[in-house]
Amino acid sequence: MGISLRFFLFLRICKEGEDKRFKFIKPSATRFLMTWTLQGMWVSLCSMSILTAMSSPTGFVVNGMFFIGIFIFISGLLIEVIADYQKIQFRNQP
């Protein structure tokens, strides 16, 4: 999901220029540090499940729950891509 988000944000920055929210955060070192730290914490929390599975002696367990997780991931990715496309189409209308 990170790749599609990066692509979407890159296209938005190319079209609109710098993000207005970043202009508010950038001048203040404490706001910038807080934002950077919270993003790092979020990445760490999200990656805990994969890190736990990789460090387990049994590794990945391929069972019904594994395939349900794959299905949910692909469904979420598809919904995100469709929503981004619809948002772009909506914003392009005058």
For the segment 72-94, what is each residue's pLDDT rounded down to a tens digit? Answer: 989 998 998 899 889 889 988 88
Number of domains in the chain: 1
Q: Characterize 49-84 residue by residue with b for buried, 16 or more Cβ atoms within 10 angstroms of its Cβ, and e for exposed.
A: eeeeeeeeeeeeeeeeeeeeeeeeeeeeeeeeeeeb
Q: Answer whether residue 2 shows pLDDT above 70.
A: no
Residues 26-53 pLDDT 10s: 888 898 899 889 999 998 998 888 888 7
Whether the model pTM is above 0.85: no
Q: How far apart are CA 37 and CA 57, in angstroms?
A: 31
Residues 6 or more apart whose Cβ sits within 8 Å of residue 19: 12, 13
Domain that holds residue 48: 2-92
State in Å, rounded, how far the first CA of the chain is from the last one. 30
